[in-house]
């Protein structure tokens, strides 16, 4: 397969994960709201999936491709990028309430924030496709696709569903049209296909950096889970018995359990 065809496949994989974010907004076409308890569980599931994908997918593959030292450098770089990016963006949190009425300057800021959150997931997809076309993969659409790439694409797609739900909640309270909820949810993950193509292109040209790439994606995603996803779930569950910790732990367990069949492969 030509490089252009390979890039197209990687882009489509990233686009699939972005479109999955829109699924999280679909329930609002039929229901007006989702309870805090269910939201905490959804964030727990998303966190469990991302932690599983990072540890058992990216970290494991990084150790297979390079040394522990290289992996640690990549992990640290991923964390540093997220921290520095937040500092550059004045540590502004994503606020979907601002999407609908954003002027150009604010839209650029929102795009920057979304890139910080979604780009590492795109990088994870891109590096997971590093062995595209090589032996050991599965024949799919005329390509030999690495098992890790299939695993990461499915994992991030499932993870993106509750993210779409979280984005749709405040927009619903603003009276945003139902189908626009789906669009804004997808919009929030558009950096993923872009990040996937950039990361894939880089590691294909410079394969010696592949262990760092695996570590980078894992570090950024694990950091986001620990510093944003889980705290977000606990904030939502503050009014629940036990502060929502039971729902969060249950969601984490479900998220890991969802990944077990793929991990066994």
The pLDDT of residue 105 is 58
Question: Quick one: average pLDDT of 129-145?
Answer: 81
Q: How far is CA 161 from the centre of its chain?
A: 10
| 183 close to 23: Cβ distance less than 8 angstroms | no
Predicted pLDDT of residue 250? 93
Q: Got the DSSP string for the chain?
A: --HHHHHHHHHHHHHHHHHHHHHTTGGGGT-S---HHHHHHHHHHHHHHHHHIIIIIIIHHHHHHS-HHHHHHHHHHHHHHHHHHHHHTTTPPP-GGGTTT--HHHHHHHHHHHHHHHHHHHHHHHHHTTTTTSTTSEEETTEEE-HHHHHHHHHHHHHHHHHHHHHHHHHHHTT--HHHHHHHHHHTTTHHHHHHHHHHHHHHH-GGGHHHHHHHHHHHHHHHIIIIIHHHHHHHTTTSGGGGHHHHHHHHHHHHHHHHHHHH-
pLDDT in tens, 16-38: 999 998 888 887 777 666 778 88
Tens digits of per-residue pLDDT, 142-178?
788 888 898 899 989 988 888 788 777 767 766 677 7
Mean pLDDT of all residues in the chain?
83
The domain ranges of the chain are: 3-264
Alpha-carbon distance 158 to 147, whole Å? 17
Mean pLDDT value across residues 210-238: 89
pLDDT at 1: 58
DSSP for 91-109, written as a single string: TPPP-GGGTTT--HHHHHH
Buried b (16+ CB within 10 A) or exposed e, 55-68: ebbbbbbbeebbee
In angstroms, the CA 159 to CA 236 distance is 18
**Average pLDDT over every residue of 77-83:** 89
Cα–Cα distance, 174 to 168 (Å, whole number): 10
Residue 90 has pLDDT above 60, yes or no: no
Distances (CA, A) of 170 to 37, 140, 228, 231: 16, 39, 17, 18
Q: What is the pLDDT of residues 188-199, one digit of tens each?
A: 888 899 999 999
């Amino acid at each position: 397969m030509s490089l252009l065809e390979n890039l197209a496949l990687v882009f489509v994989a990233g686009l699939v994960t972005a479109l999955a974010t829109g699924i999280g907004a679909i329930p609002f076409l039929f229901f007006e709201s989702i309870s805090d308890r269910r939201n905490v569980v959804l964030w727990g599931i998303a966190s469990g999936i991302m932690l599983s994908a990072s540890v058992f997918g990216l970290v494991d593959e990084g150790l297979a491709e390079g040394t522990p030292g290289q992996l640690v450098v990549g992990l640290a770089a991923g964390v540093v990028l997220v921290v520095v990016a937040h500092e550059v963006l004045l540590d502004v949190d994503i606020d979907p309430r601002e999407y609908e009425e954003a002027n150009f300057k604010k839209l650029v800021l929102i795009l920057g924030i979304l890139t910080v959150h979604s780009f590492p997931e795109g990088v994870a997809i891109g590096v997971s496709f590093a062995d595209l076309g090589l032996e050991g993969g599965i024949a799919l659409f005329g390509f030999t696709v690495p098992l890790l790439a299939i695993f990461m694409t499915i994992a991030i797609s499932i993870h993106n569903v509750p993210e779409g739900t979280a984005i749709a909640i405040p927009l619903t309270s603003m009276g945003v049209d139902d189908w626009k909820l789906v669009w804004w949810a997808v919009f929030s993950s558009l950096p993923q296909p872009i990040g996937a193509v950039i990361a894939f292109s880089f590691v294909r040209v410079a394969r010696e950096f592949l262990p760092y790439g695996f570590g980078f994606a894992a570090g950024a995603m694990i950091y986001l889970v620990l510093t944003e996803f889980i705290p977000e779930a606990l904030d939502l569950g503050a009014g629940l018995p036990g502060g929502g910790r039971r729902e969060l732990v249950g969601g984490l367990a479900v998220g890991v359990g969802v990944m077990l069949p793929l991990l066994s492969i």
